[in-house]
Amino acid sequence: SLLPHFSGQPVDPVRLDRLLEKLKPALRHLDQEVLATKPFLATEQLSLADLMAFTELMQPTAVGCDIFQDWPRLAAWRARVEAALGPELVQDAHRLVLQPRDPRDAQRDPKLAQELVQRLLERL
């Protein structure tokens, strides 16, 4: 969980290691089986499956973990997803997902999330 990061508290390294250890089988499956025969997760083109997985897999980077470093196909997939989305959209998405935010921001500006979703849908 990245809750401590978003609340401004330090991340417990022991707990983080345990969580990353639990993630390894899924990363191995994606790298060695799913991405072994195709460029994206579900089809030959970027799909909603890629966007969902990309969002989830990028979260550990908020606490300085590069989960892609040991998985070459997964790292190449990440590069393909980022290239398909374009650098501006990737940067905006990372800013919204990874930066600590006040939860009330979404209530103050609900159009922010809707705008990002619309831009993602236009890329599909």
| Exposed/middle/buried for residue 23 (C-beta within 10 Å: 0-12, 13-18, 19+) | middle
Looking at residue 112, its pLDDT comes to 58
Total domains in the chain come to 1
Domain that holds residue 39: 2-122
pLDDT per position as a tens digit, 89-116? 877 766 665 555 554 554 455 665 566 5
pTM for the full predicted model = 0.69
CATH number at residue 82: 1.20.1050.10
